[in-house]
Each structure stands twice: as structure tokens, then as C-alpha cells.
Amino acid sequence: MNRESSLTKLRPKLPLTTDINGHLESFQNRVLRPILKFQNDLLLNYLYTHPQFIPLSSKINKQDPNSYREVISKFVKSNTAFRHKLYGMICGMMTVKEYGIYLKDASEYNRRIIAMYVQRVLSQVA
């Protein structure tokens, strides 16, 4: 078994439309979303155990969902090192071909990764 087939078999199958006209959205639904779902536990743990996020978590008003959104969004969008490691966790689960596609529009895919990541975190807040 080679790396490519091993990686693609690991990913969960999501009921998303993959035959979309736009190549960006197609790649997002075919590659990025399944990787984010597969890596979910690791990605959440990375946020909640990050030394710079821990003090911020005490500022979250647990009764106000907007408080979560504000603190998490601000942290993820302002912490460059955090984002770069997050991209690495995602890219490390791509095949060589997928990584080549990612590189062609990396800034747009990175923007989408962050948006999906923040949404995933917020949807799982207890």
C-alpha cells in the first residue's frame, strides 16, 4: 500500500457535493473538509492546550456564544505561528498531487481552512 492510497482511505466520507464547477470549492469539499474532520481531535487539542490560548480561555463568557466566537476567531487569526502549524497539520495529510493543487491557490485555501477550523471549534464548544 502506498502513501497516497493510505491517506485517502483514512479520510471520512462526507456527504458533500464534489462535482462543483469551481475548482476551489471542489478541492475544499473533496480534500480539506475530510482532512479537517479526520484531524478534528488533534486540531481541537492543539487549540485548547496552546500556551497562548489558555489564558484567553478564562476571558470567555461561557453563557455567551459570541464570546467564544470573538476570542477564538481573534486568537486564530492573529497568531501566525498557530496558523502555520495548523496548515502543516492539514497539508501533512494531503497526497503529493493534492499538495501541488493546494500550492497553486495556497492563500485562498488557507483562508478557507481557517474559516472551516473556527466553525468546527465553535460547533463543538460545550
Q: How confident is the model at residue 16 (pLDDT cuts 50, 70, 90)?
A: low
Domain ranges of the chain: 25-123
Separation of alpha carbons 66 and 83, rounded Å: 21
pLDDT at 19 exceeding the cut of 70 = no
**Of the given ranges (15-19, 72-76, 86-90), which has the lowest mean pLDDT?**
15-19
Task: Could you list the beta-strand ranges (E) of the chain.
Answer: none
Asked if 125 contacts 79 with a C-beta cutoff of 8 angstroms, the reply is no
pLDDT at 49 exceeding the cut of 80 = yes
Separation of alpha carbons 106 and 112, rounded Å: 10
The pTM score is 0.87
Asked if 78 contacts 110 with a C-beta cutoff of 8 angstroms, the reply is no
Alpha-carbon Rg for the chain, nearest whole angstrom, is 15
pLDDT at 32 exceeding the cut of 60 = yes
Q: How many residues does the chain have?
A: 126
Separation of alpha carbons 42 and 39, rounded Å: 5
Separation of alpha carbons 78 and 100, rounded Å: 27
